[in-house]
Copies of this chain bind each other. A is one copy, B any other.
């Protein structure tokens, strides 16, 4: 395999990238200056050295400190912990400017049938909750509203049960119902059911 094909093969493993776009990436780089290729190669190598996972929320972050800027912040409400699947989910919550608590990033969701071999950060989550048991008052499960999210939610509830003394920490899940822009005529029965149950 030659250099063009080898690089295309690596780009094909990128999320959402097929052979055609992988080939276009290679040609973009061929037409770019050597300086740009060098910068890209250096930045990719730098990820391993410069980016750490926050020792508390497991988010990827830059810098020398063990804690990310959210976990070391003194203005966030450390009584609330939101458990999300990915860094991107936490970023979406941040963009909504409606939450000022802390996070734990599971690193993904569990597929139904894979509960025995979940690729989420179970041990890290347990450690995080144990360590913060004195300050936590509420844990919010903010997982996607699909089968994987529900499977993950069940597993997280199982993990939390032995860690939490009744009445001391309130465990909640994000509300379900009509999302912005939803029209009843096209809503699925589950969404209607949730919207009715959560009417207020």
Indicate if the CB atoms of B29 and A38 lie closer than 8 Å: no
**Smallest CB separation, A9 vs chain B (Å):** 9
**Which of A's residues lie within 8 Å of B, judged by CB?**
2-4, 6-7, 10, 13-16, 21, 23-31, 34, 36-48, 50-51, 60-63, 84-89, 91-93, 95-99, 107, 140, 142-146, 172-200
Q: A92-B184, A92-B192, A181-B146 are in contact. Are A45 and B41 (CB under 8 A)?
A: yes
Known contacts A4-B62, A144-B184; is-contact A178 B174 (Cβ 8 Å): yes
The docked-state distance in angstroms from the alpha carbon of A60 to that of B91 is 40
A27-B183 contact given A44-B7, A97-B189, CB 8 Å threshold: no
Interchain residue pairs A-B with the least CB separation, the first 8 = A175-B198, A2-B62, A175-B177, A96-B189, A96-B192, A174-B195, A3-B50, A177-B177
Give chain B nearest CB distance to A47 CB in angstroms.
6
Q: List 19 A-B contacts (CB under 8 A).
A: A3-B62, A4-B47, A7-B47, A14-B25, A30-B60, A88-B185, A92-B185, A96-B189, A96-B190, A97-B189, A99-B196, A140-B196, A143-B184, A145-B178, A175-B178, A177-B177, A177-B194, A179-B179, A198-B200
